[in-house]
Amino acid sequence: MMPCSPAGTRAFAGGGIAYDLVVTPFGWVGVVVGPRGLCRVVLPAGPRAALERVLRRANPGARRDLRRCSRAVRAIRRYVRTGRAGGAGPLDLGAATPLARAVYAALARTAAGDILTYGGLARRIGWPRAARAVGRILGRNPVPLVIPCHRVVRAGGGLGGFSCPGGLRLKRRLLDFEAEARRASAPDAPPPPCEPIIPVHFC
């Protein structure tokens, strides 16, 4: 896991690295917040103590701060209730390229139960030949769940990759959970298409 970088040498209270942990049906999830916003979501990596060690090792000097991480924690809890992690606050995507930002923006606008292919996502953002690049970008997604990279699968029906702890087993669990959440919210609605049509607007 790449560390989050505090801006300059400001003291922790003014903008260092903060983290918190939240329990979910999938295990403990970690969030890391830097001076510019949420910079990491770490999916379950064993017991709480093990996850906390991972967070501290990747972000030396980070401290647990419930207040600074409260929006991110609420977003993860919202995901557990609805399948959508909205309201996480500003995202610090670091040195993400314009292509990566376009990929992340498109995914952030999908709904629970939506499923896209790598090629379909590439076409949606106007880069129809960039399916492999899209896959590499998703493998570096710093904030899974908030940017739901697990919703992208192979065109042939396979799950594709998932570089987060838990691997493809967790990816399948997340997709199954979202499908059930979607059915519960609209029991009479037809299943979503593999290439859902949603409006996408880039800033």
Q: Which of 4, 39, 69, 149 is catalytic?
A: 149
* Burial tier of 77 (Cβ tally within 10 Å: 0-12, 13-18, 19+): middle
Residue 118 dihedral angles phi and psi, to the nearest 5°: -60, -45
Length of the chain: 203
CA dihedral 82, 133, 192, 22 (to 10 degrees): -10
Give yes or no for a contact between 109 and 198, defined as CB atoms under 8 angstroms apart.
yes
Q: How far apart (Å, rounded) are the C-alpha atoms in residues 17 and 160?
A: 33
149 noted as active-site residue? yes
Annotated catalytic residues are: 149
